[in-house]
Amino acid sequence: MTYCLNLDCQKDKRQNPPGTKYCLNCGSKLLLKDLYAATEPLRDGGFGRTFKAINHGKFEEMCVIKQLSPPQEFQRKPGHFKKYVRLFEQEARRLYELKHAQIPQLISYFEEDGRLYLVQEFIDGYNLKDELEKQGSYSESKIRELLLDLLPLLKFVHDRNVIHRDIKPENVIRRDRDRKLVLIDFGVSKQVVAATPNKTGTKLGTPGYAALEQRHGKAVPASDLYSLGVTCIRLLTSVMPYLDIYGDIHDDLYDPLEGRWLWREALPKGTKISQDLSQVLDKLIQEYVKDRYKSAVEVLQALKPPIAIVSPPNKLQPGNAVNRSQQSDVVTETPLISVKLESEKGIDYSQLQKLLEDKNWRGADEETSVKMLEVMQQKSRGYLSEEDIRKFPAVDLQTIDQLWVRYSHRRFGFSVQKNLWVKLGGKPGVYDATIWEKFGDRVGWRIDNEWVYYSELNFTSKAMPGHLPGGTVFGWEGGVLCGVLGLGGLWFLLSRRDL
């Protein structure tokens, strides 16, 4: 069906048969720019309407059309409307420049028949509010995974002087094809409305998620972090704000008299949240900016991720059982020959070699993280982006991997981990939650369906194949969130053909 976008068209008569060029009810043109045809409404908000659509100019590909509604102040005066169009174009260009795998690509933006439109990539998946309703309250591990996915994305956005302004479960979609979280609705129209003539302190964002300063028209990067923190506690508790019959908002998770969030009291029975995650969440949702994290990097540095407990061979659970022959498998064909300490970037790997030779596995693990940051000149940032991982010099990657393989007698190393991932059915570079959990069980990073802390990893030569290096993925005590690579970055590393 083709859906009519004319606001004056009778609602129950807006559907038209496929291929119809003009609405059978009101006669309005149905194809925007003779390319984009709306098929069904998705959302209707205060700043515009969103529709699922077909891009006839690109192999009938699915897309999303957002029809923006200019404020009354702009509509009354032609001069103001021209300013609105100019501001819209400026903000649309900024959105177009946000090229990131977890942000829907902007396909086009234009004015037609006195209305403004954005056309964006369609993300196939469920938003986190829908996911919450289907699967129930989030666990600590799911909240950590969420932070792992979204904090680097927010750093990317904030580094480009963009503030999202409306982070909430409905605006985060878990993409079906790779299970990555995608941030939608960057609110181009909201940012333009903020510049409405004769209006100051325009309130932007969603009640129950927007920070104090944002409610007074002064959004900063920490405002997005506040909304992210509130999103986390709502997913943990399943408590959402709601409107009563008079249109007033109520929020059982917040006590306005004491000015504090009551999320601990609202946790489902049996839910356990570690002290370090609790402290991070508490600081994210502080009322005043001065008491909050100022950047996504600060949160990354403060959060200690959960890492797998290593299970002794005789205590493995039946569901996670790995037989003794599996534990001693030779999982790489790399011969045990001497390793040349080669580096494209002039990095000295002699200390890593010495630590491995002395069987100082923990020291070698931490040294590996340090050297990988040094290779890409990211020691101050503390982690590698997906682009860094793709560009990581093959010579250096092979030197690090070969050192681990040689001195562990083919037990540890990135190539060992890649081999195991593929053997378990994983596809290099593709996230699969089921395979990832199997992989965690197989290498000893998971037990009883829980991921725990790095300090409890097994830093002995008897650890399961692929158990180390671990710090590159998970971080170390007092270290950055999810180490150098992070869980997401691991897929990009395992897709390298030079391993």
Q: What are the residues whose beta carbons fall under 8 Å from the beta carbon of 309, sequence distance 6 or more?
A: 446, 447, 450, 452, 456
Helix (H, G, I), strand (E, B) or coil at 492: helix
- Cα–Cα distance for residue pair 270/203, rounded to 1 Å: 38
Conformation bin of residue 468: beta by default, left when phi > 0, alpha when psi is -120 to 50: beta
Residues 6+ apart with CB under 8 A from 298: none
Residue type at position 288: Y
* Dihedral angle over CA of 330, 333, 339, 340, nearest 10: -160
Q: Amino acid identity, residue 14?
A: R
> Cα separation of 404 and 410, whole Å?
8
Beta-strand runs (E) in 384-462: 452-453
Give the H or E element holding residue 31. strand 31-32
Compute the distance between CA of residue 131 and CA of residue 389 in angstroms, rounded to an integer. Answer: 31
DSSP code of residue 89: H
Q: Which of 12, 34, 166, 252 is catalytic?
A: 166
CA dist 102 and 233 (Å) reads: 22
**Structural contact between residues 174 and 138, judged by C-beta atoms closer than 8 angstroms:** no
* Dihedral pair phi/psi, residue 38, rounded to 5°: -70, 140
Measured CA to CA, the distance from residue 467 to residue 459 in angstroms comes to 9
113 given a catalytic annotation? no
Judge contact between 418 and 494, C-beta under 8 A: yes
How far, in Å, CA of 323 to CA of 79, rounded?
A: 75
CA geometry: angle 129, 133, 134, nearest 5 deg: 115
d(CA 164, CA 206): 12
Q: Could you give the angle at the alpha carbon of 453 between the alpha carbons of 447 and 456, nearest 5°?
A: 75
The alpha carbon of residue 148 and the mean position of all alpha carbons in its chain are separated, in whole angstroms, by 6
What single-letter DSSP state applies at residue 353? Answer: H
- Annotated active-site positions, please? 166
